[in-house]
Amino acid sequence: MRIFITLSMLFCISTVNASVLLNASLNQLKNDNKLSFIGRAYDQNSGDLLYSEEHYFINSAHHSVIYREPTGQVFAKKQVIYNANQNAPEVYQVNHRNGESINIHKKDNEYLVSYQETPDQPIKTEAIKDKEALVIDAGFNKYIQTNWQLLTANQSPSIKYLLPTRQTTIELEIERTSCKESNQTCFLIEPSNWFFRMLSKPLVLTYDSDSRKLMTFQGKSNISDSEGNYQEVVIHYDFSPEAAL
């Protein structure tokens, strides 16, 4: 069994409302001028463009992501809904490449994690306790920014990262690592357990030291291809005004 670590994400909403959010009009998002930045994912080996991510912030609690093929065709949508725990948002994702769906819904002191690999497979649901240091999806970026001083002081805290496809958590360690550029701050993320380290490659996140914005992500993608495989990618994020054009 391989352990896939992806990066790749606040108030509670019902599953019905999540469906409405996932079917939100792309034109409405564009017309509202909410596009904040774009990520372009490239194959680590060939350098080929695999897909792009359009990130929209409807408001401070609602983060929408649209995934596009290199042709421009939309193939997946994700909604990230932040609650009091910014590190552990709710997540609703549908991938039309293979029909995979992920639904992470907060209820009381636990998260109901539902996963469906393909439309012809049953939906599996497990309850995960809202434990200390729990991090979910884009909440990873929130965690880095909130704990910036601790992390840049060469401390190596551990977190409990949710793996929705496995419906469980894995303990990860975050440590500062060297960067290519002097104006960058880089972090290496890998499992605390040595055995799990052997089963997966680490993630490398590169931030702009001044703005603390995520500039590149290197590791396993959080969106699968048409065969259900999670590819090794390098994602470059573009925050320039031209990115929204």
Instruction: Report d(CA 41, CA 242) in Å as an integer.
Output: 18
Instruction: Report d(CA 19, CA 21) in Å as an integer.
Output: 5
Task: Determine, yes or no, domain membership for 43.
Answer: yes
pLDDT at 24 > cutoff 90:
no
Determine the pLDDT at residue 196.
Answer: 79
pLDDT at 200 > cutoff 50:
yes
CB contact burial 156-194 (16+ within 10 A = b; e otherwise): eeebbbbbbbebebbebbbeeeebeeeeebbbbbbbeee
pLDDT at 126 > cutoff 70:
yes
Q: The tokens of 237 are what?
A: 């994020």
Task: Determine, yes or no, domain membership for 91.
Answer: yes
Task: Determine, yes or no, domain membership for 211.
Answer: yes
206-219 mean pLDDT: 96
pLDDT at 33 > cutoff 70:
no
User: What is the total count of domains within the chain?
Assistant: 1
Task: Determine, yes or no, domain membership for 84.
Answer: yes
Handedness of CA 224, 168, 63, 189 (dihedral sign): negative
Q: What are the pLDDT digits (tens) for 75-97?
A: 999 999 998 889 999 999 999 99
108 in the Ramachandran plot: left (φ > 0), alpha (ψ -120 to 50) or beta? left
Smallest CA-to-CA distance from 140 within 112, 161, 118 is with 161
Q: pLDDT confidence of 3, banded at 50, 70, 90?
A: very low
What percentage of residues in the chain have a pLDDT greater than 70?
85
Q: What are the pLDDT digits (tens) for 60-75?
A: 889 999 999 999 999 9
Instruction: Report d(CA 91, CA 128) in Å as an integer.
Output: 14
Domain enclosing residue 233, as ranges: 15-244
Stated pTM of the model: 0.85
Q: What are the pLDDT digits (tens) for 106-122?
A: 999 999 999 999 999 99
Task: Determine, yes or no, domain membership for 5.
Answer: no
25-47 mean pLDDT: 77
| DSSP of 142-166 | HHHHHTHHHHHTT---EEEEEETTT
Q: pLDDT confidence of 31, banded at 50, 70, 90?
A: low
Task: Determine, yes or no, domain membership for 121.
Answer: yes
Task: Determine, yes or no, domain membership for 27.
Answer: yes
Integer CA distances (angstroms), 102 to 18, 166, 180, 224, in order? 11, 11, 35, 12
Q: The tokens of 91 are what?
A: 């997540």
Lowest pLDDT segment from 2-11, 74-83, 141-150, 220-229: 2-11
Task: Determine, yes or no, domain membership for 1.
Answer: no
